[in-house]
A and B are shown apart, each in its own frame.
Chain A
Amino acid sequence: MGSLLQVKSVKRSFGNLHALDGVTLNVEPKTVSILIGPNGSGKTTLINVITGFQKPDEGRIYYGSTEITGWSPQQVYGAGIARTFQIPSMFGKLTVLENLLVAEKNHPGESFAKSLVKRLWAKHEADAVEKASKILELLGLSEHLNTPASLLSGGQMKLVEIGRALMSDANLYLLDEPVSGVNPTLAHEIFARIIRLREQYGITFFIVEHRLDIALKYVDYVNAMASGRLLAAGPPEQVINDPKVIEAYLGA
Chain B
Amino acid sequence: MSGLDQLILFTTDLLALFAVYLIINIGLNLQQGITGIPNFGILFAVAGGAYFTGGLSTRFALSLLGIQTDLSPILNNVSVLALINPILKSQPLIAIGLLILFLAIGGVAGAAMGLISSAPAVRLREDYLAITLLAFGEILNVIGIGYKPLIGGPPGVSVPDVLGWAGQYRFYAGTLVLLLVAIAVFAYAGYLIKTPLGRTLRAIRDNELVARSLGKDITRYRTVSILIGSTLCGFAGSLWVMYSGAVTPTYARFDWTFLPWLMILLGGMGSNRGALVGTFVFVALDKLILYYKYAFVGILPFDVVWLNYLLLGLITILILIYRPEGIVRTWQKEPSPVQPTK
A–B interface present (Cβ within 8 A):
yes
Determine whether the beta carbon of B206 is less than 8 Å from that of A77. no
Contacts of B216 in A (CB 8 A): 74, 102
From A108, A110, A146, name the one whose CB has the most chain B CB atoms within 10 angstroms.
A110
A129 touches B213 (CB 8 A): no
Interface size class of chain B, counting residues whose CB lies under 8 Å from the partner chain: 20 to 34
Binds B, one of A37-45, A82-90, A207-215: A82-90
Cβ-based interface call for B336 (8 A): yes
The answer, among A90, A103, A133, for a CB contact under 8 Å with B340, is A133
B199 at the interface (CB under 8 A from A): yes
Give the CA-CA distance A33 to B306 in the complex, in Å.
69
Binds A, one of B12-20, B124-132, B190-198: B190-198
Please name the residue on chain A nearest to B216 by beta carbon.
Answer: A74
Contact of A93 among B197, B209, B270, B338 (CB under 8 A): B270
Q: Which of B103-155 contact A (CB under 8 A)?
A: none
Q: Could you say which interface size class chain A belongs to?
A: 35 or more
On chain A, the residues within 8 Å of B333 by CB distance are: 148
* A residues near B338, Cβ cutoff 8 Å: 95, 97-98, 101, 125, 129
User: How far does the Cβ of A56 sit from chain B's closest Cβ, in whole Å?
Assistant: 18
| Residue A13, interface by CB 8 Å | no
A91 within 8 A of B: yes
Q: In the complex, which residues of chain B have a beta carbon less than 8 angstroms from the beta carbon of A97? A: 336, 338, 340
B215 touches A74 (CB 8 A): yes
Q: Which residues of A contact B228 (CB under 8 A)?
A: 112
Across the interface, B214 reaches (CB within 8 A) one of A77, A90, A111, A148, namely A77
In the complex formed, the residue of B with least CB distance to A78 is: B215
Bound-complex Cα distance A97 to B336 (A) = 9
Please indicate which of the listed interface residues A51, A99, A142, A164 has the most CB atoms of chain B within 10 Å of its own CB.
A99
**Who on chain B is nearest to A107 by CB?**
B196
Residue A29 is within 8 A (CB to CB) of chain B in the complex: no
Q: Chain A, 115-142, contact with B by CB distance < 8 Å: what is the 0/1 string?
A: 1001001000110011011000000001
Q: Are B340 and A91 in contact (CB under 8 A)?
A: no
Decide yes or no: A110 and B196 within 8 Å by CB, A91-B203, A97-B340 being known contacts.
yes
Task: Assess whether B199 is in contact with A94, with CB atoms less than 8 Å apart.
Answer: yes
Contacts beyond the supplied A73-B215, A94-B199: 4 A-B pairs with Cβ under 8 Å = A90-B206, A91-B203, A94-B202, A125-B338
Partner-B contacts on A (CB < 8 A): 51, 53, 72-74, 77-78, 83, 85, 89-95, 97-99, 101-105, 107-112, 115, 118, 121, 125-126, 129-130, 132-133, 142, 145-146, 148, 164, 168
24 CB-based A-B contacts, threshold 8 Å: A53-B213, A73-B212, A73-B215, A74-B217, A77-B213, A89-B207, A89-B210, A90-B207, A91-B207, A94-B203, A94-B336, A95-B338, A97-B336, A102-B199, A105-B215, A109-B196, A115-B192, A121-B195, A121-B196, A133-B340, A142-B340, A148-B332, A148-B333, A168-B214
